[in-house]
Structure 1
Amino acid sequence: MRHQAIGALIGATGGTAFVLANAGAPLNGALTTAAQILAVLLLAATLVMTFRQGKKPATDDAAGGFTKGYWFVVLGEVVALFGGFQVLRALEAPVQANVAWIAVVVGIHFVAFVLVWKTWTIAVPGVIMTILGGIGLGMAWTSAVAWVPIVSGVLSGLTLLLCGLFFTARA
């Protein structure tokens, strides 16, 4: 399977998890259910498209792979996640800030992969997620704190799913 296809599947799975874990109040039940169903359908569509493309001849897939650069970015992501959680705890941030921090770090890690994989398409979800995470961090200290999981979690998850599906369809 091509590296880009693996990346799309990882992103789609992560996006689905983001939506399923964060969809809920203050959204009403119907919107929560709709977001969750949409996420699962987008994941299924990405799976179908990815495996259909597996039957096509592979193109040059030099931009990708689990190289040392990949593992360096992943290690940096893990350190940033857990270090950031400690900072948020020390600042007595509301628990909703955690999902915003996750979106920021995951977004930045996608942008870092541009350097590793030498493909700009991965920057699109990365920049969007970083922005959504940053907005959520700002919201965490306001009366809109209940919306942080929707903005930073659900919207980030849908971003991953839609970008993965779009780029899979274009491959």
Structure 2
Amino acid sequence: MTETDDRRRLSGLMIGSLVALSMGTVFVVVNSAALPSPWRLVIRVAAVLVAVTLLALVIRAERAGAPSEEGDIQGFADRRYWYAVLFEVVALFGGLYVINGVLKKPEVAVAWVAVVVGLHFFPLAWAWRMPLYYGVGGAMAVLGVAGFVAYAAGASAATIGLIAGVGSGFALYIAVVAGLRDNRARRVAAAAR
């Protein structure tokens, strides 16, 4: 593939960042709804500003040319990716059915979502050789568990949403920052060769 052809396709940095920024913003906006004013608006505006700024940085990095990626990573065509997605869908909706329908505890649903989404990053980190995903997955899983602990301690739904939901959104933003930093380091290393 020529360098021109390589630049026409979206890099892993761009695709991963678009997913992380959109999902991070959804986590923040949805899970800040129960917060009192002015915090709800402050957190939402901050999230959108962070997401837009990071998107601009990702686009700039993409235009600079992503460093070449390691050979045999198949991305979305990899069956391991689909196994991770299958696990995520079954665990997510099965758990939400139990939490909302059986236990009638919708205030902890976001904690469950954070745990499951966090755990789905682990097989992806392994399959795609992306150590960064272990960090974001671990952070989200811990934030989800912290949401369950907060619930057990008598915290309000707003507090659980802040911990597990808003926290997970910002964890995804931090993952984009880490991806940009890694991309820059690889570009500098490639230029030094």
Q: Structure 1 length normalisation: TM-score?
A: 0.90
Report what 1:50 is aligned to: 58
1:86 corresponds, among 93, 97, 101, to: 97
SS of the counterpart of 2:25? helix
For 1:39, the aligned partner's letter is A
Report what 2:75 is aligned to: 65
Higher-RCO chain (CA-CA 8 Å, sequence separation at least 6): 1
Taking a change above 3 Å as real, the CA distance of residues 91 and 140 of structure 1, as seen in their structure-2 partners, is: farther
Separation of aligned partners in 1, 2:130 and 2:181: 16
Larger Rg: 2
Shift of 1:93: 4.5
Separation of aligned partners in 2, 1:52 and 1:73: 30
SS of the counterpart of 1:75? helix
2:39 corresponds, among 31, 54, 67, to: 31
2:150 corresponds, among 134, 139, 152, to: 139
Taking a change above 3 Å as real, the CA distance of residues 23 and 90 of structure 1, as seen in their structure-2 partners, is: closer
Report what 1:76 is aligned to: 87
Percent identity of equivalent pairs: 32
Counting helix residues as a fraction of each chain, which structure ranks higher? 2
Report what 2:13 is aligned to: 4
CA RMSD of aligned residues (A): 1.8
Report what 1:106 is aligned to: 117
1:15 corresponds, among 6, 16, 24, to: 24
The question of whether the paired residues in 2 share the 8 Å contact of 1:8 and 1:168 is answered with: no
Shift of 1:58: 2.9
Report what 1:148 is aligned to: 160
The question of whether the paired residues in 2 share the 8 Å contact of 1:93 and 1:140 is answered with: no
Taking a change above 3 Å as real, the CA distance of residues 54 and 88 of structure 1, as seen in their structure-2 partners, is: same
Structure 1: unaligned runs, 5 residues or longer = none
The question of whether the paired residues in 2 share the 8 Å contact of 1:111 and 1:123 is answered with: yes
Shift of 1:86: 2.4
My pick for the range that moved more, 6-15 or 135-144, is 135-144
SS of the counterpart of 1:72? helix
Shift of 1:17: 0.4
Structure 2: unaligned runs, 5 residues or longer = 1-9, 184-193
The question of whether the paired residues in 1 share the 8 Å contact of 2:108 and 2:147 is answered with: yes
Separation of aligned partners in 1, 2:63 and 2:84: 30
Q: Residues 52-75 of structure 1: CA distance to partner in whole angstroms, max 9, x if unpaired?
A: 122223322235621221111111
Separation of aligned partners in 2, 1:129 and 1:138: 14
Report what 1:117 is aligned to: 128
